[in-house]
Amino acid sequence: MAAKMALAWIRRDLRLSDHAVLSEATASADQTAVLFVFETNILDSLEPDDRRVSFIRKSLVEVDEGLRRAGSRLIVRIGDPLVIVPEVARQLGADTVYAGRDFEPYAIERDADAGCLLSRDGIRFEQPLDHVIQGADELFNQTGEPFRVFTPYSKAWLARYQPEMAAERAVDLTKLVPAEQIEGLSEPWDWVDIGFVENDLWVQPGESGAKRQFRHFLPAIESYATLRDFPALEATSGLSVHLRFGTLSIRECVREAVARLPHSQKWLSELIWREFYSMILGQFPHVVESTFQPAYRELEWPGDPAHFDAWKEGRTGYPIVDAAMRCLNATGWMHNRLRMVVASFLTKDLLLDWRLGEAYFAQKLLDFELASNNGGWQWAASTGVDAQPYFRIFNPLLQSKKFDPDGVFIRRWCPELASLKNEWIHCPSEAPMFNQMDAGCEIGVHYPAPIVRHAEQKERAVALLSRG
């Protein structure tokens, strides 16, 4: 009997351990080859200095190194996966192609087409679940409908959860195709080959970076619930980008969270939020282009387009907003509390369409994930699933005083405000002129005056959104 050959097509699972795709491939076949495709369908829309490509490529270098230590190597190709994957599978003589399930609309369409093309060659296409614990089509309410509110979803998620869902998916690296057997199947994939430039990143990429960050976070998991909202502290997990690109297994995260209950309850809840938004995207794909709430689909946002530029560039005159946006622009990261603050400010204070902010985050965030990004923006705009009620509007001044009380984060990213006393750091425009002069920061000269008045805009937002 001929030896069975499998092709593992990795996408958002850039690691070698606790890996559903590699586990099933190496368990079912005599030999397994590993393929990554730099998809030009996606890359052609990105800027050459996109940080995500740097994270991906650097993580792939580590995957390749791990495969070479096991006597194999990574096959890398650049182009259209619907051409490349069937071609590589034929060249290998693969019986089965394995790839992780994905619930983004583009991925669903791509994978459906890939399955059809592979079947024409008599090649099976298997898609194990890897980047979430419970898939978008596995959890429904008592009437058989998808959940639309987080709390009952979370309760159902926890009630259905079984330890085997998060059990480690072992990989047999002895069953990898020898490197000499796949020589010539890969093409050059240096920076110039993929058309991007290397970026320095605030986070260490790859599985080693993920493991290091996870070890760093675990001792602090008990204080996560009380400290996570303070952006000047390193009190969040810092794992979002690793979960996005699969350099860390979600199963490992859930295993550790469950083992540390009840102290880890808040962090586990955040992991379930991630699964909730993934489910919403899979069940209601229209949210990519439109609002989840039908009442707001024709809503016209009356804000000034010039204010969008001020928001993007961190010059709104609201220090907490400006510091958050400058941090995003400089690093590709933003603290979760600040994501809510700046999203509320754009939609409720500036009265600008949430889709503008969502698209900007998609462009800038290193940990951009369509489901969570869309869900978070629609939550802030009160147009989404289980959204913030339209009449509850973040006050940026109060948020600043509560979560950055000494202005540590503000001073880090708005250095022109650094010499202001705490009394004025959150609202420098209210500082008397002699305080401004003493701090070397004259409002309107060194730092902008507020572009809107929060109290007035809040009334306008309530009136606008109450129509829904």
Q: Check 157, 377, 379, 424 and give the catalytic one.
A: 377
Do the domain assignments include residue 57?
yes
Is position 196 within any domain? no
Catalytic residue among 199, 336, 395, 435: 336
As a whole number of Å, the CA-based R_g of the chain is 24
Question: 270, 275, 358, 369: which is the annotated catalytic residue?
Answer: 270
Q: Which of residues 283, 315, 346 is at a domain's end?
A: 283
pLDDT digits (tens, 9 = 90+) for 323-359: 999 999 999 999 999 999 999 999 999 999 999 999 9
* Distance between CA atoms of residues 96 and 8, nearest Å: 9
**Quick one: 300 and 409 in the same domain?**
yes
Task: State the DSSP code for 36.
Answer: E
Span between the terminal Cα atoms of the chain, in Å: 65
Say if residue 1's pLDDT is above 60. no
Domain annotation covers residue 205: no
Q: Does residue 188 form part of some domain?
A: no
Residues 83 and 112 in one domain: yes
Q: Do the domain assignments include residue 288?
A: no
Q: Are 92 and 140 members of one domain?
A: no
List the CATH number of the domain containing 338: 1.10.579.10
270 as an active site residue: the answer is yes
Cβ-Cβ contacts under 8 Å for 14 (sequence gap 6 or more): 36, 56, 59, 60, 63, 206, 207, 245, 246, 247
How much is the pLDDT for 388?
A: 86
pTM of this structure: 0.96
**Of 157, 189, 267, 273, catalytic:** 273
Residue 242 shares a structural domain with residue 317: no
Domains contained in the chain, number: 3
A 10 A CB-CB count for 339 gives 20
Beta-carbon neighbour count of residue 48 at 10 Å?
A: 11
| Catalytic site includes residue 202 | no
**DSSP characters over 217-283:** HGGGGGGHHHHTT-TTS--S---HHHHHHTSS-HHHHHHHHHHTTTTTHHHHHHHHHHHHHHHHHHH
Tokens of residue 125, six digits: 């296409």
Q: What is the DSSP letter of 178?
A: P
State residue 145's pLDDT score: 97
Residue 2, pLDDT above cutoff 70 = no
> 335 and 301, same structural domain?
yes
User: Known catalytic residue: 157?
Assistant: no
Q: Is 336 a catalytic residue?
A: yes
- For 300-313, what is the mean pLDDT? 97
- In-domain check, residue 177: no
Kindly report the CATH number assigned to the domain that includes residue 263.
1.25.40.80
> Domain for residue 178, yes or no?
no
The one catalytic residue in 301, 329, 395, 435 is: 301
Does the N-terminal peptide bond of residue 262 adopt cis geometry, omega within 30 degrees of 0? yes
Could you say which of 9, 157, 354, 413 is catalytic? 354
Chain segment 218-270, per-residue pLDDT in tens: 999 999 999 999 999 999 999 999 999 999 999 999 999 999 999 999 999 99
Same domain for 47 and 126, yes or no, is: yes
Same domain, 319 and 407: yes
Count other C-beta atoms under 10 Å from residue 445's C-beta.
10
139-173 pLDDT, tens digit per residue, is 999 999 999 999 999 999 999 999 999 999 999 99
CATH number, domain containing residue 80: 3.40.50.620
Give the integer Cα–Cα distance in Å for 233 and 252.
25
Same domain, 103 and 152: no
Shared domain for 148 and 237, answered yes or no, is: yes
35 shares its domain with 126: yes
Confidence of residue 85 (pLDDT cuts 50, 70, 90): very high
Are the beta carbons of 281 and 103 closer than 8 angstroms? yes
User: What is the CA 48 to chain-centroid distance, rounded?
Assistant: 20
| Residue 468 binned pLDDT confidence (cut-offs 50, 70, 90) | low
Domain boundary among 254, 283, 312: 283
For residue 276, what are the domain limits?
132-164+210-283
Told to judge if 374 belongs to the known catalytic residues of this protein, a careful annotator would answer: no
* pLDDT recorded at residue 100: 98
Same domain (yes/no): 310, 429: yes
Mean pLDDT of 168-196: 97
Same domain, 126 and 15: yes
Angle of the 265-283 helix axis to the 370-381 helix axis, nearest 10: 100
Active site residue 191: no
Average pLDDT, the chain: 97
Q: 387 falls in which pLDDT band (50, 70, 90)?
A: confident
Query: What SS3 class is residue 125?
Result: strand
Residue 3 has pLDDT above 80, yes or no: no
- Domain presence at residue 198: no
